[in-house]
Chain A
Amino acid sequence: MLAPTLAWRFLRDGRAQTLLILAGATVGVAAFVFVSAIIVGLQENLVDKTLGSQAHLTVLPEEPPPRPLYEAAAPTLYARRIEEPAPRRRPFDQWQRALRTLEATPGVVAACPKVTGSALAIRGGAQEGVTVVGADAARLRRIVDLPRYLVEGRYRLGSGEALIGDDLADELGVRLGDPLRLTTEGRDADVRIAGIFDVGQQALDGRWVVLSLRGAQTLLDRVGDVTAIDATVEGIFEADAVAEQVAARTGLEVESWIDRNQQLLTALKSQDQSTLMIRVFVMLAVAMGIASVLVVSVVQRRGQIGILRAIGTKQRTVLAIFLWQGAFIGVVGAVLGTAIGAAFTQLLERVTFFPITVGPRLALMAMLISLGTGLASAILPARRAARMDPAAAIRGDG
């Protein structure tokens, strides 16, 4: 391999220039890695907070077609009144089939049928309005990782067992192992507190009472029925695409977390755009730095390039020599820059409230982008070198 050998030798020979462009590439990549890691960390933290307690997807029973209260027989009448069906009591027809379809949809990694409804929790003199959530324990934990947030007791949903949030426990003055009475219109259930969780969100910690699926079905008078099916998807940002898939396959209404959090997503997107801008400008600056130094080196080596061409070096090889120089700078700059960027993020992480890591994905991306930048910035100098007229180059003019 003549071109990489000569490229390496040229870089080694032009020590000061090489160190200069290498420093430029390294600083650029370090800035790239640093900024990317912070933004990714911040975004992951935000998304994590949001999704910690929310299902990625929720499949809802089919909305019965709005039924006109009356429809005039006469074609001249355009007005009609539409009444929304009552939302609460809607049964979920054939939810088992929907569950199977959902689980078979690519991108869906877990699904959990659930029953939710309102109830009153009573303990001694205290009573609180709560949200009863009934689900299979093994399925539910793959939607909301309650075991992770459990502060007391065990993650268990046997019959007569309940998990409640720490805030609700405080309100009611109950502790682990205490009995609790739940009532709805005419139905009661007595449960024992098997575990207390602290998700960090008032809506859960202060309201949720998690029961077994069957327990909740009985209490809420929905035996055999569910209110919705939650699902977890593989790529959270593809959740809306998966939702569309599921909707198309089942004919049901499917809601993704993206639908529910438009504001957050808009914020993330504009953040993405500004990071993209920063990255592009940083790498553009690096590219121009590499290109200008390489152009200078091409001019300085005119005579040598002329000699190389005269003694039989192909034009293609001369082109490749300078492209290889760009590639070497790009790769070495990526390695050093990623290391430095990672070191800086480590320092910063000590003062932030969220974790920042430079993962293999970011490192790989930095490597590819840096290599691309090095190559791209070498194109111009390389072509200049390859097109040099050897006679003129040896003569020292032209």
Chain B
Amino acid sequence: MSEANEANEARAGERLLELEGVTKSFGDEVVVEVLHGIDLTLERGELAALIGPSGSGKSTLLNLLGLLDRATAGTLRLLGRDVATLDDAALTALRGESLGFIFQFHHLIPALSVVENVMMPAAAVNGGFTASMRPKAEALLEAVGIGERADSWPRELSGGMQQRVAVARALMNDPPLVLADEPTGNLDTETSDQVFELLQRFNAESGTGFLIVTHDPDLAGRCDRVLQLVDGRLVADGPPDEVL
């Protein structure tokens, strides 16, 4: 963990993420603009929450930040690189190396064991599973509290455990930023708290940046920074006590 910390600090000079005037539209004939001129900067090591009503564009924005989709206009720089200039293969590579993902559904690949799921981001970048990946994956599973389930299958785990595996997987490549779209959306309050605490802990210990989409004001209140999106515009951005 401390190694990742150093690496993250070593490049602290450059901005993690910068958005200028980013818009996103959908449709060919009937064009609907979902995001209107988003300006946003994320620094390394931030623990930020993204809130907003349903349909306000949170997932759309997260997909742009995650390089899963391209902006219609404006510039988006990840680690100083203008992603509009990168082709799909380069985006895939950058995504694999610099970003971690946690989603509400489709957590894990059922055909892979728990530890293989955690190793998957390293395997994707490396082009195959290697034995040397395993100790790190096991350490991450240990860190999220399910070290003894490394060789289980995802279907044998509860929802909360599966989400812990997803957290471990998101951290496998030591990404400077993890994007989480309602990671606790379908967990009960207690489990949801535990998973959120994990994210907080990784943020504090290894300086990994997190951007967490949530509907839960309580969770948002425990982040360093809260971004509020309404109708495709960022209407508030600041510490929780100011925004909420």
Contact = CB atoms under 8 A, between A and B. Distances in A.
Interface string A90-130: 00000000000000000000000000000000000000000
Chain A at the B interface: mostly helix, strand, loop or mixed?
helix
Interface stretch (B36-44, B85-93, B184-192): B85-93
Contact of A312 (B59, B69, B96, B108): B96
B125 A9 contact: no
Interface stretch (B97-105, B137-145, B204-212, B226-234): B97-105
B106 A315 contact: no
Contacts, number: 77
A311 B106 contact: no
Contacts of A1: 127-128
Contact of A308 (B59, B93, B100, B109): B109
A5 B96 contact: no
Given A307-B103, A390-B68, A314 B111 contact: no
Contact of B128 (A2, A303, A389): A2
Nearest to A393: B106
A83 interface: no
Interface string B145-159: 000000000000000
Interface in B72-128: 88-89, 92-93, 95-97, 100-101, 103, 105-106, 108-112, 120-121, 123-125, 127-128
Interface residues of B, number: 32
Contacts of A314: 89, 92-93, 124
Contact of B105 (A10, A303, A310): A303
B200 interface: no
Interface in A301-338: 303-304, 306-315, 317
A260 interface: no
Contact of A394 (B68, B88, B125): B68
Contact of A9 (B105, B112, B128): B112
A2 B123 contact: yes
Interface of B: 59, 63, 66, 68-69, 88-89, 92-93, 95-97, 100-101, 103, 105-106, 108-112, 120-121, 123-125, 127-129, 169, 173
Sorted nearest first, the 10 A-B pairs with minimum C-beta distance are: A312-B96, A303-B106, A13-B111, A9-B111, A312-B124, A313-B124, A391-B68, A391-B63, A311-B121, A2-B128
